[in-house]
Structure 1
């Protein structure tokens, strides 16, 4: 998509990263990294293995604390939050889709999604809301998630990420474990989410065919984010 797309102009960003610095093993992984993302917008981050793409998501989730810089999620600076408040913000404002889905295999698709709502203390009508999401995303009913195909498991993971209506959706190589047909269907779904659910999507990927679907594609190199070449 056109890298100049300006989605949600005038609305506060759901994610702001400013001057992020992090050294790992004596190497500067991030060196003044900046990023801004608004509701309704998708950003894909590419870069070589070891450049810090997944670590960036971990910083946004509050799982890795940077050496310096600010990370604001829906206006809240997270780098200094206590664990309990951070966990609450993460549960209520962020959703995460992993490469392999990371579902509990013994649970049904419905129960996997409902569990995310219960853990966020978002119990009201959780089963109805979870089933509606699964229906909307085309996930069939099953006794356990083991019965699902790879693409169906990933759609279940997307439903789980959406159940608490997050402002920010993060995805770490979400199509990397899928075959070509399932990959394309998953990509269609993921990049439809920002407009459909009024959230921001930050996705990291090695796949240029996936990255080019985003509103903006950024490349992580030498510790900073820059516009990716087309």
Structure 2
């Protein structure tokens, strides 16, 4: 007897949300499975960052269903949503959002501790991830790192809890061309390596072209993005 298929890591159905009488989402629906990546494009102000906030459970939509790692988070209490987010989600921000007074090791290990790892587990995972991502372990503060190294540290922090879902908000927007390419390559390699779903919001089609699927958020709806051959 075959096992039923695993639920998608991310599932939205009928997602509707307004801000100040402006309709951001009009019945959005999408799914992203483990091991897959999705890039969401769209102009500033179209709701890309708000959508990530909804996926994180920080913003409650006006209507619709949001499922993360097989659990519907829209009906959860705030404390239960926070636990679910801690256990199943990771986040990479545009500017890293690292604690500048801490070392790269401390930044990543702290995220592991907050996710419920033991001190030994958090330290070992931080050291392993930073080493694999090419971040100098001897750096005493993140201020000693280059922009690319800081963003790689942010990626390590986002996956230290081995999340089912990794979200990234304009993760290469503050980087030069060389670091943009290397960080983008790293991000889009993670779904296969860590069996997670990756959702990236970006305005950069050259970054988005690495995703398994691309959608354009426009006028409250998700549309297939134009083929990359048309924008090269």
Task: Give the TM-score of the pair, scaled to structure 1.
Answer: 0.94
Partner in structure 2 of residue 62 of structure 1? 57
The equivalent position to 1:128 in structure 2, one of 103, 110, 124, is: 124
Partner in structure 1 of residue 180 of structure 2? 183
Partner in structure 2 of residue 173 of structure 1? 170
Q: Where in structure 1 do 4 or more consecutive aligned residues deviate above 4 Å?
A: none
* Structure 1 residue 104 corresponds to structure 2 residue 99: yes
1:75 & 1:39 partners in 2: Cα distance?
Answer: 11
2:147 & 2:86 partners in 1: Cα distance?
Answer: 25
1:116 & 1:24 partners in 2: Cα distance?
Answer: 31
Please state how far the C-alpha of 1:213 moved relative to its aligned partner. Answer: 0.9
- What SS does structure 1 have at the residue aligned with 2:178? helix
The equivalent position to 1:203 in structure 2, one of 200, 204, 207, is: 200
- What SS does structure 1 have at the residue aligned with 2:8? coil
The equivalent position to 1:82 in structure 2, one of 77, 82, 98, is: 77
Please state how far the C-alpha of 1:180 moved relative to its aligned partner. Answer: 0.3
Instruction: Give the alignment of 1:131-150 within 5 angstroms.
Output: 131-141=127-137, 142-150=139-147
The equivalent position to 2:7 in structure 1, one of 6, 12, 26, is: 12
1:95 & 1:187 partners in 2: Cα distance?
Answer: 16
The equivalent position to 1:212 in structure 2, one of 209, 212, 215, is: 209
Please state how far the C-alpha of 1:11 moved relative to its aligned partner. Answer: 3.3
Aligned CA-pair RMSD: 1.1
Please state how far the C-alpha of 1:227 moved relative to its aligned partner. Answer: 0.6
Please state how far the C-alpha of 1:69 moved relative to its aligned partner. Answer: 0.1
2:7 & 2:81 partners in 1: Cα distance?
Answer: 20
Partner in structure 1 of residue 47 of structure 2? 52
1:38 & 1:57 partners in 2: Cα distance?
Answer: 16
1:66 & 1:102 partners in 2: Cα distance?
Answer: 25
Mean Cα deviation higher: 75-84 or 88-97? 75-84
1:56 & 1:161 partners in 2: Cα distance?
Answer: 18
- What SS does structure 2 have at the residue aligned with 1:86? helix
Point out where structure 2 has 5 or more consecutive residues left out of the alignment.
Answer: 228-232
Partner in structure 1 of residue 191 of structure 2? 194
* Number of equivalent positions: 222
Point out where structure 1 has 5 or more consecutive residues left out of the alignment.
Answer: 1-9
Please state how far the C-alpha of 1:151 moved relative to its aligned partner. Answer: 0.4
**1:154-181 CA distance string (max 9 Å, x none):** 0000000011000000000000000000
Partner in structure 2 of residue 6 of structure 1? none
